[in-house]
């Protein structure tokens, strides 16, 4: 069975490590420590889902969302952030789902699995 491809973008190394430990058993992972690394990965690889933090130094999650909406609209995006009103941000930028930090890893796993097999993205 083919494993879904997941790009995880977060500038917090501890968060990347935790998420990778949980999701690495189920999906083919690529980790990006900031928006610049994420854009580089997106330009050279196709992903089924992007798990995206928004608030990062330099190239942030909003820059990545803009790139995805233009260059990879079929990619599903889950925003994971501590910013307020994620529901409105997700709707405005066409993200498929969102989670407010801090979140439970079992909830994240369930949501990512649903996105891997869910309806088309809405960018």
Q: DSSP alpha helices (H): ranges in 1-123?
A: 13-23, 35-44, 61-71, 86-93, 105-117
pTM, rounded to two decimals: 0.91
Q: Residue range 52-69: average pLDDT?
A: 95
Local confidence band at 66 (pLDDT 50, 70, 90 cut-offs)? very high
Structure token pair of residue 114: 């649903």
Structure token pair of residue 67: 């790139």
Confirm whether 122 is domain-assigned.
no
Q: Residue range 91-113: average pLDDT?
A: 93
DSSP SS3 for 72: coil
**Which domain CATH number covers 29?**
3.40.50.2300
Confirm whether 29 is domain-assigned.
yes
pLDDT tens digits for range 6-51: 999 999 999 999 999 999 988 999 999 999 999 999 999 999 999 9
Name the residue range of residue 91's domain.
5-117
């Amino acid at each position: 069975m083919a494993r879904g491809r997941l790009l995880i973008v977060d500038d917090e190394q501890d968060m990347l490590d935790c998420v990778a430990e949980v999701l690495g058993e189920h999906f083919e992972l690529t980790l990006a420590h900031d928006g610049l690394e994420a854009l580089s990965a997106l330009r050279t690889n196709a992903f089924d889902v992007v798990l995206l933090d928004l608030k990062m130094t330099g190239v942030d999650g909003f820059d990545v969302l803009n790139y995805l909406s233009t260059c990879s609209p079929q990619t599903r995006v889950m925003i994971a952030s501590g910013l307020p009103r994620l529901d409105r941000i997700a709707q405005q930028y066409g993200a498929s789902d969102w989670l407010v930090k801090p979140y439970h890893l079992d909830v994240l796993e369930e949501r990512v699995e649903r996105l891997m097999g869910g309806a088309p993205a809405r960018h």
